[in-house]
Amino acid sequence: MMSKGCGNIPFIAQTTDFKDKGVRLNLFLSGSDDYFSGISVNGGFGIYRGKFEGVLLSGLFNIIDGNPSSSLTGLSCSALGNYAESNHNLAVQVGLFNKIDEYTGGKVIQLGLVNRAGDQYSPILNFRGFFNKKSLEEKLEW
């Protein structure tokens, strides 16, 4: 669990354990133990243990995990990879490795070498939730 007083240094590393919103620019790390809404740009890592809504850009890796309500709504982009416990509404992940552990409906776009949204795996580009599977099956029936 992150703490309010765990060495927050503006523009280097910021973490909170309460609901927060706004813009964060950090050289190394940004994170929260609760809901965050806004834009977070980090040179190293983004670690959010609650709901994240907005844009998360990091140089290395993004993680949205830690409790049952952890979810991504928005964009998560990093050089190496992105991990989210679940998604909500629209989730977009761009990185070498992208994973949404539990697909909960909504729409997902993943661009990277390895992409997984729930039980659906697709290299390079993965779309989930954009097409009605039942209507496609009906169209394919002869």
66-106: pLDDT as tens digits? 777 889 999 999 999 999 999 988 999 999 999 999 998 88
> Using CA atoms, how far apart are residues 23 and 10, in angstroms rounded to an integer?
12
Check if the beta carbon of residue 18 is closer than 8 Å to that of residue 4: yes
Q: What is the pLDDT of residue 73?
A: 94
What is the pLDDT at residue 2?
A: 45
Closest CA to 64 of 94, 97, 87: 87
pLDDT digits (tens, 9 = 90+) for 13-36: 888 888 889 999 999 999 888 899
Q: What is the pLDDT of residue 67?
A: 79
User: Would you place residue 55 in the very low, low, confident or very high pLDDT band (cuts 50, 70, 90)?
Assistant: very high
Question: pLDDT grade, residue 3 (50/70/90)?
Answer: very low
- pLDDT averaged over every residue in the chain: 87
CB 38 within 8 A of CB 32: no
Residue 93 vs residues 32, 75, 96: alpha-carbon distances, Å: 19, 6, 10
| Residue 91: strand pairing partners | 74, 108
Partnered with residue 40 across adjacent β-strands are 24, 56
Which residues on adjacent β-strands are paired with residue 55? 39, 75
